[in-house]
Amino acid sequence: MELLDIFVTLGFWGALVRMATPLIFGTLGELICERAGVLNLGIEGIMTMGAMVAWMWVYQGGDLWTAVLVAAAAGALFGLLHAVFSVYLGLSQHVTGIGITLLAASLSYFAFRMLLPDVTTPPKIDPFKPFPIPGLSEIPYIGEVLFTQSPLTYLAFVLVPIVGYGLYRTPLGLALRMVGENPMAVEAQGIDVHRLRTCAVMLGSAFMAVGGAFLTISVFDAFYIGMINGRGWICIALVIFASWRPGKALAGALLFAAFEALQIRVQQASSAVIPYQFFLMMPYILSILAMIVMSRRAAYPKALLVPFRKGER
């Protein structure tokens, strides 16, 4: 297959949109946390937890949409835990985040093994089916790429303008952005900084968990150990790439997904020339390059990583 042929195949563009979905959820979630001034390195573990919980829910006979809610609730719970450590106790957000990732991932694996002992091949579930949107899906080409996707993919795309609107056009969004820039000012307005940050981290973590759940109950039909495989860390790089803006986060997620989708196809086309490991490295190297390119323009939320204690300056 010629390289240029890849770009005209429907499969490539459809895969791109599909692969962007977990990145969109994760990046939006991390963006909300960081806008409120909290770096959430728990993302990798929270996505794992979301993937496991949602899969297990469906496997035990639960309904797919309830599984999404259960995953979101589990994510919010770990977000609350992260907030207790990083917001209320004001501990180093780096270290507590790593701790949350270790805890959430190992608890997911433990629970998975506990509920399914003596299983060698991972059992399967019936995942979300592609849902063609009536009318729109009949548009040639575009319909097949954009409007014949999993319902969770539509949800991810719809969330981008909602988060953008919420952050920039509502009083709550203003407060949330301010709490990441200047918590003293928010406190002066009579808003509880700790409570606001905690809500933001819980909401963001719920998004991340749904991103993980997408992998198990929409793309794959099974849960594997290590299936998140660094996607969470890529989301963190994407937030910086997006300069903390939801619209750019969507663009970044699509760009990365394009690369991921391309990588698989180029790998099949030219495995003899370049070893496939180098293609697999590309998302990680691209993340680092993206951070380098964006670093000059990076306008970090000013209170990111800074714990807030009442009555302290």
Binding site for other proteins (CB under 8 A): 39, 41, 81, 85, 88-92, 94-96, 98-100, 102-103, 105-107, 109-110, 113-114, 117, 230, 233-234, 236-237, 240, 275, 277-278, 280-281, 284-285, 287-288, 291-292, 295-296, 298, 309-310
- Shortest spacing between CB 205 and other proteins, in angstroms: 15
Which residue lies nearer to other proteins by CB, 4 or 292? 292
Which residue lies nearer to other proteins by CB, 93 or 218? 93
Q: Is 131 in a helix, a strand, or coil? A: strand
Residues with Cβ within 8 Å of 33's Cβ and at least 6 positions away in sequence, in order, are 39, 40, 79, 200, 201, 204, 205
Which residue lies nearer to other proteins by CB, 103 or 222? 103
- Shortest spacing between CB 181 and other proteins, in angstroms: 18
Quick one: tokens of 103?
Answer: 């805890």
- Shortest spacing between CB 112 and other proteins, in angstroms: 8
Residues with Cβ within 8 Å of 52's Cβ and at least 6 positions away in sequence, in order, are 108, 109, 111, 112, 212, 216, 223
Residues with Cβ within 8 Å of 59's Cβ and at least 6 positions away in sequence, in order, are 123, 125
Which residue lies nearer to other proteins by CB, 16 or 100? 100
∠ CA 61-65-71, rounded to 5°: 85
Report whether 183 contacts 27 (CB < 8 A).
Answer: no
- Shortest spacing between CB 115 and other proteins, in angstroms: 10
Which residue lies nearer to other proteins by CB, 152 or 253? 253
How many residues are present in the chain?
313
User: Which of 182, 179, 162 is closest to 170 using CA atoms?
Assistant: 162
Which residue lies nearer to other proteins by CB, 216 or 263? 263
- Shortest spacing between CB 5 and other proteins, in angstroms: 27
- Shortest spacing between CB 66 and other proteins, in angstroms: 23
